[in-house]
Amino acid sequence: MDPSAANISYWLNNSLPIGYQNQSSAWFLGGNNISFNGHGHGTLNGNGQIWYDYTKGVSNIAGRPHALTISKTNNATFTGLRFVQSQMWTMAIVNSSFVDLNDIYVSSTSNDSEPARNTDGADTIYSHHINFRRWEVTNDDDSIAIKANSSDILIEDSTFYGGLGVAIGSIGQYPNRYETVERVLTRNCVFNATRMLGYIKTWTGIEQGFPPNGGGGGTGFVRDVAWTNSKLIGLTESPAEITQCTTFSGAVGECDTSTLQISNITWSGLYGTMVGTVIADLSCSGAAPCENLAILESNITSETGEPGTYSCHAVNSTKGFFC
């Protein structure tokens, strides 16, 4: 057996469980009052191409590890770290609070035609008062994602290349579980050829399959979230998106069943260019329509020269735009 295959076999069987979405990690680090400084040189290389080729574009293969999990950590600072070719998510921040993550570099892309799926720059889970400052992320999935029971999150002065943008979710994957995200601010960032700028994704209200590649039926809320004062360079899809129709395992439909409530969401002070014409694609659930969505003081130009458009479903109140 060649060393690459042996390496994958080892990690599939020995990665450390995180306890959420059947995710696992290569390395856990945690504690109180930590100061961790890579001085711009300290690098974790996940040999990710081996994993990108192995998965062949399939999402969430069990045992595929994250590069680093910051767990049960409080009053800590991580600075000047570099992550290249992460195996899966680069970083998960779990059950932690008051953590500063400054001057972090992430590059996880595939050198062949298959995208490097699940290569999120960072995800928060059950964490509060987390600050991301001066990140540079190049990847093929969420630039940064804010997941279940996260609050008071700041993302600022960062640049994102080629991924999906800053995501809220997905949440609502576990039936009858109440999950929340609130008070998230993204500001003063650059989105260069990402698909979206800021988007929200929840599972349907009907359980279809099981995590990590199925689920649904959860409830809760997403509220008080804003993306502001940020630049778009050739955005490939649309700056603002909401979907409450996330479902895998080949299931379709049930897009109006989620009871997870989305409210008080703002995109403002956005400027720059996008490839298409759709500024907002907001597909909320008929069972819990979105409330108070605002797109304000933005100057976004389509490369086609055509005026921007807005698409809405189950949106009760808007400000600054008409569906």
* Percentage of residues of the chain with pLDDT beyond 90: 87
Question: Domain range for residue 36?
Answer: 3-319
**Among candidate residues 321, 238, 230, 310, the one with its CA nearest the CA of residue 274:** 238
Total structural domains in the chain? Answer: 1
pLDDT at 130 over 90: yes
- The pLDDT, as a whole number, for residue 251 is 63
Residue 248: pLDDT over 80: no
As a whole number, mean pLDDT of residues 306-317 equals 96
pLDDT at position 320 is 97
Q: pTM for this one?
A: 0.96
By CB atoms closer than 10 A (0-12, 13-18, 19+), residue 97 is: middle
Q: Work out whether strand 105-107 and strand 28-32 pair parallel, antiparallel, or are unpaired.
A: unpaired
Q: How far apart are the C-alpha atoms of 298 and 229, rounded to whole Å?
A: 9
- Rounded Cα distance between 304 and 136, Å, is 28
Each residue's pLDDT tens digit, 14-29: 999 998 888 999 999 9
- Catalytic (active-site) positions: 141
Q: What is the pLDDT of residues 153-178, one digit of tens each?
A: 999 999 999 999 999 999 999 999 99
**What span, in angstroms and rounded, lies between the C-alpha atoms of 181 and 260?**
11
Length of the chain counted residue by residue: 323
d(CA 289, CA 147): 20
The confidence band for 6, taking pLDDT boundaries of 50, 70 and 90, is low
Looking at the predicted structure, is the pLDDT value of residue 219 above 60? yes
The yes-or-no verdict on residue 3 having pLDDT over 70 is no
**CA distance readout (Å), 129 to 73, 93, 124, 184, 223:** 12, 11, 10, 10, 16
User: Which single residue is written with the structure tokens 């400052």?
Assistant: 133
Q: Residue 254's domain is classified under what CATH number? A: 2.160.20.10
pLDDT at 113: 73
Looking at every residue in the chain, the average pLDDT score rounds to 94
How far apart (Å, rounded) are the C-alpha atoms in residues 122 and 144?
A: 5
CB atoms within 10 A of CB 74: 16
Torsion over CA: 45, 49, 55, 58 (sign)? positive
Residue 5 has pLDDT above 70, yes or no: no
Determine the pLDDT at residue 4: 47
